């Protein structure tokens, strides 16, 4: 049986053979890879990412960090990263943190953040990373609901030229909760506790971390991942899909606040002892050449980014780009939202110079690692297709939705059990072509994707509905050239408002959302209407709002849709009102 081959993700016939084996004998397949990747059967991620690599090559660079400003650069070796991790672990132990305890991490993209995650793993604590751009209120809810005893943060961070007062946000968030704050700015001053030299004994099924993501309910969903399954799946997908080599320099532009920052900034690249490049700034500050300069300086071989960033950089033209040499790049990737053809072509031609395959990888917080990605042959690249399932995954389409017909791949979050049925519903719309290649077309549920950030519309609506003037609201995503989607909120009010009042309510909506969720959920526009289109059972007809919001008009809608609305007359009113939408 063929289980492992250097051409596994390149040669279609070898891919097909390994795939067939993985489906025919999944247990054998995963056990084989587990024994190869974890020969010592140690499932502590801190050991796997650090101790193992320090033994092999202590002075190899683990992380190159670039800051917001041009002059900011630091290099951290594997031995130094182990020392930082042990020191943070020492502080956690001193604060009484033990295996199974929950620790929240709210930090920017700096080496200390990666050390903080690994420190939690070292002592067996379950980390709960919260994106540092969330507001105090959103942070507070996530700390409280995770029952964290400690929050690790830093005093301030800077991004795009702006200073973010992280410690202040954290202190506001914890208010009177019984939570201790650990400031990772001072890691060099921490003393080493002997207990942190060892690592906790973690079993395959022990929880490794949790991460909040948005679903279609008001509350964010808390997703759990286990040590063995998660590490096995993230490492395997990374190895094959990015075709990694020992001397690769890996630059993933995501943030540790998201699952991509867990799987493909931290755990899989460090598992293989690679050199990582991390960047705490934005691609546009102080100019659009930041990524290209970093790639040139560090001779980056793998670039894994997001469609929003790619669209944004493509829109700048090639002046900055032409100043740099990108010939070190070997593989390109993107994740988080659907690509569009022109951005794909630009990425392929101008960044990869038609030499680098584009791994348009589809996956989710819940799946732990990549589920669909194209094979590496350059001649067979299909723009915007995530294409093929990873080994052990059986995708399908049911009522336009991408489904996974098995739940036995190791990366799947432990939230999902077979008791809820064999099928995993992804919530994404997809199509499959005659070659069996999948293309993702966006969400089918009430989740929007703004700049690659997943946001539940009911999360936003529940904030909007707290305003006194608002009777009801419905948030939808509408297409945007760069951001993929933006939020458009339809509201009905308790009394008729003047234009001035509407403007001020719009401002209030925007500031309440910033305060309760964070700037990432800021709406693009607010539409004041008299009545939301609803079915007899009271369900809001979002597809009608979407059609109007996208300016398609309801004409393209079939009779069935309109018939199900209790008061079809309200649609004319909405069509009229959209013209007077107030931009935020």
- The Cα–Cα gap between 344 and 341 comes to 5
Please say which residue, 478 or 581, places its beta carbon nearer to ligand PRX.
478
User: Shortest Cβ distance from residue 364 to ligand PRX (Å)?
Assistant: 4
User: Which residue among 126, 138, 173, 259 contacts ligand PRX (CB under 6 A)?
Assistant: 259
Asked if residue 386 binds ligand PRX (CB under 6 A), the reply is yes
Task: Report in angstroms the alpha-carbon separations of 421 from 222, 389, 525.
Answer: 20, 21, 40
- The Cα–Cα gap between 194 and 200 comes to 13
- Between CA 376 and CA 380, with CA 377 as vertex, the angle to 5 degrees is 120
Residue 249, beta-bridge partner list: 275
CB of 142 closer than 8 Å to CB of 220 = yes
User: Shortest Cβ distance from residue 449 to ligand PRX (Å)?
Assistant: 5
User: Shortest Cβ distance from residue 450 to ligand PRX (Å)?
Assistant: 11
- The Cα–Cα gap between 386 and 268 comes to 20
User: Which residue among 251, 292, 363, 528 contacts ligand PRX (CB under 6 A)?
Assistant: 363
Please say which residue, 480 or 512, places its beta carbon nearer to ligand PRX.
480
**Which of the ranges 174-182, 189-197, 272-280, 422-430 carries the binding residues for ligand PRX, by CB under 6 A?**
422-430
If binding means CB under 6 A, how many residues of this protein chain bind ligand PRX?
Answer: 22
Contacts (CB under 6 A) with ligand PRX, residues 441-460? 443, 449, 454
Contacts (CB under 6 A) with ligand PRX, residues 274-293? none
- The Cα–Cα gap between 26 and 302 comes to 29
User: Shortest Cβ distance from residue 515 to ligand PRX (Å)?
Assistant: 22
CA 45 to chain centre: 20
User: Shortest Cβ distance from residue 223 to ligand PRX (Å)?
Assistant: 8
User: Of 365, 307, 353, 298, which is closest to residue 333 (Cα–Cα)?
Assistant: 307
- The Cα–Cα gap between 225 and 209 comes to 6
**Which of the ranges 93-101, 136-144, 255-263, 547-555 carries the binding residues for ligand PRX, by CB under 6 A?**
255-263
User: Which residue among 89, 300, 335, 404 contacts ligand PRX (CB under 6 A)?
Assistant: 335
**Which of the ranges 19-27, 86-94, 311-319, 360-368 carries the binding residues for ligand PRX, by CB under 6 A?**
360-368
User: Shortest Cβ distance from residue 213 to ligand PRX (Å)?
Assistant: 5
User: Which residue among 83, 141, 243, 360 contacts ligand PRX (CB under 6 A)?
Assistant: 360
User: Which residue among 134, 242, 362, 424 contacts ligand PRX (CB under 6 A)?
Assistant: 362
**Given the structure tokens 């690659």, which residue do they identify?**
452
**C-beta nearest to ligand PRX: residue:** 365
- The Cα–Cα gap between 118 and 111 comes to 11
User: Which residue among 128, 153, 260, 458 contacts ligand PRX (CB under 6 A)?
Assistant: 260
Asked if residue 368 binds ligand PRX (CB under 6 A), the reply is no
User: Which residue among 44, 46, 86, 213 contacts ligand PRX (CB under 6 A)?
Assistant: 213
Question: Which residues make Cβ contacts (< 8 Å) with residue 145, sequence separation at least 6?
Answer: 222
Cα distance from N-terminal residue to C-terminal residue, the chain: 59
Cα radius of gyration rounded to whole Å, the chain: 24
Nearest 10 degrees: CA dihedral of 364, 370, 373, 376?
150
**Which of the ranges 103-111, 151-159, 234-242, 336-344 carries the binding residues for ligand PRX, by CB under 6 A?**
336-344
Please say which residue, 232 or 335, places its beta carbon nearer to ligand PRX.
335
User: Of 358, 269, 294, 369, which is closest to residue 49 (Cα–Cα)?
Assistant: 269
**Which of the ranges 30-38, 77-85, 174-182, 355-363 carries the binding residues for ligand PRX, by CB under 6 A?**
355-363
Residue 424, beta-bridge partner list: 404
**Which of the ranges 64-72, 90-98, 199-207, 331-339 carries the binding residues for ligand PRX, by CB under 6 A?**
331-339
Tell me which DSSP letter residue 49 carries: I
Helices 166-174 and 136-146 cross at an angle (nearest 10°) of 50
| CA neighbours closer than 13 Å in the CB half-sphere of residue 464 | 31
Please say which residue, 326 or 450, places its beta carbon nearer to ligand PRX.
450
**Which of the ranges 37-45, 335-343, 387-395, 410-418 carries the binding residues for ligand PRX, by CB under 6 A?**
335-343
CB of 105 closer than 8 Å to CB of 170 = no
User: Shortest Cβ distance from residue 291 to ligand PRX (Å)?
Assistant: 19
User: Which residue among 248, 255, 337, 461 contacts ligand PRX (CB under 6 A)?
Assistant: 337
User: Which residue among 51, 68, 255, 428 contacts ligand PRX (CB under 6 A)?
Assistant: 428
User: Shortest Cβ distance from residue 342 to ligand PRX (Å)?
Assistant: 16
Burial label, 497 (beta-carbon count in 10 A; 0-12, 13-18, 19+): middle
CB of 507 closer than 8 Å to CB of 472 = no
CB of 545 closer than 8 Å to CB of 574 = yes
User: Shortest Cβ distance from residue 315 to ligand PRX (Å)?
Assistant: 20
- The Cα–Cα gap between 258 and 487 comes to 20
Chain positions contacting ligand PRX, by CB under 6 A: 213, 258-260, 335-338, 360-365, 386, 426-428, 440, 443, 449, 454
């Amino acid at each position: 049986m063929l289980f492992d081959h250097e051409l596994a993700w390149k040669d279609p016939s070898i891919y097909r053979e390994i795939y067939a084996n993985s489906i025919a004998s999944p247990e054998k397949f995963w056990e084989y890879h587990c024994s190869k990747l974890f020969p010592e059967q140690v499932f502590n991620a801190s050991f796997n990412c650090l101790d193992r690599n320090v033994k092999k090559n202590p002075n190899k660079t683990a992380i190159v960090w670039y800051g917001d400003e041009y002059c900011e650069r630091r290099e951290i070796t594997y031995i130094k990263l182990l020392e930082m991790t042990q020191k943070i672990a020492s502080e956690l132990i001193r604060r009484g943190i033990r295996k199974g305890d929950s620790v929240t991490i709210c930090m920017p993209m700096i080496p200390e953040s990666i050390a903080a995650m690994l420190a939690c793993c070292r002592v067996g604590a379950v980390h709960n990373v919260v994106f540092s751009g969330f507001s105090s209120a959103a942070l507070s809810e996530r700390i409280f609901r995770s029952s964290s005893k400690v929050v690790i943060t830093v005093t301030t961070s800077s991004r795009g030229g702006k200073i973010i007062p992280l410690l202040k946000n954290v202190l506001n968030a914890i208010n009177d909760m019984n939570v201790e704050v650990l400031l990772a700015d001072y890691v060099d001053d921490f003393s080493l506790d002997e207990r942190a030299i060892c690592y906790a004994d973690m079993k395959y099924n022990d929880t490794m971390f949790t991460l909040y993501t948005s679903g279609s309910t008001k509350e964010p969903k808390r997703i759990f991942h286990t040590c063995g399954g998660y590490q096995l799946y993230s490492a395997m997908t990374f190895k094959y899909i990015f075709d990694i080599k020992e001397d690769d320099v890996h630059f993933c532009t995501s943030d540790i606040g998201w699952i991509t920052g867990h799987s493909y900034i931290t755990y899989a690249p460090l598992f293989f002892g690679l050199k990582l490049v991390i960047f705490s700034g934005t691609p546009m500050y102080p100019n659009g050449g930041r990524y290209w300069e970093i790639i040139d300086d560090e001779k980056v071989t793998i670039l894994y980014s997001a469609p929003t960033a790619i669209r944004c950089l493509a829109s700048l033209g090639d002046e900055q780009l032409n100043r740099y040499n990108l010939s070190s790049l070997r593989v390109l990737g993107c994740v988080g939202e659907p690509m569009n053809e022109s951005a794909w072509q630009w990425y392929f031609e101008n960044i990869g110079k038609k030499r680098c395959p584009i791994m348009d990888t589809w996956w989710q917080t819940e799946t732990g690692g990549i589920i669909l990605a194209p094979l590496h042959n350059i001649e067979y690249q299909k723009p915007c297709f995530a294409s093929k399932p990873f080994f052990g995954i059986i995708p399908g389409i049911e009522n336009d939705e991408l489904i996974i017909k098995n739940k036995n791949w190791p990366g799947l979050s432990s939230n999902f059990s077979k008791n809820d049925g064999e099928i995993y519903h992804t919530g994404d719309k997809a199509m499959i072509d005659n070659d069996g290649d999948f293309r993702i077309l966006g969400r089918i549920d009430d989740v929007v994707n703004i700049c690659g950030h997943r946001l539940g519309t009911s999360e936003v609506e529940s904030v909007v509905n707290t305003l006194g003037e608002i009777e009801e609201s419905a948030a939808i995503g509408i297409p945007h050239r760069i951001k993929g989607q933006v939020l458009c909120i339809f509201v009905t009010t308790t009394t008729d408002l003047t234009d001035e009042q509407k403007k001020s309510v719009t401002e209030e909506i925007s500031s309440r959302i910033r305060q309760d969720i964070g700037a990432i959920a800021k709406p693009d526009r607010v539409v004041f209407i008299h009545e939301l289109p609803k079915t007899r059972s009271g369900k809001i007809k979002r597809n009608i709002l979407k059609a109007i919001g996208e300016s398609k008009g309801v004409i393209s809608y079939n009779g069935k849709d309109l018939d199900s609305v209790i008061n079809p007359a309200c649609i004319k009113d909405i069509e009229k009102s959209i013209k007077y939408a107030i931009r935020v």
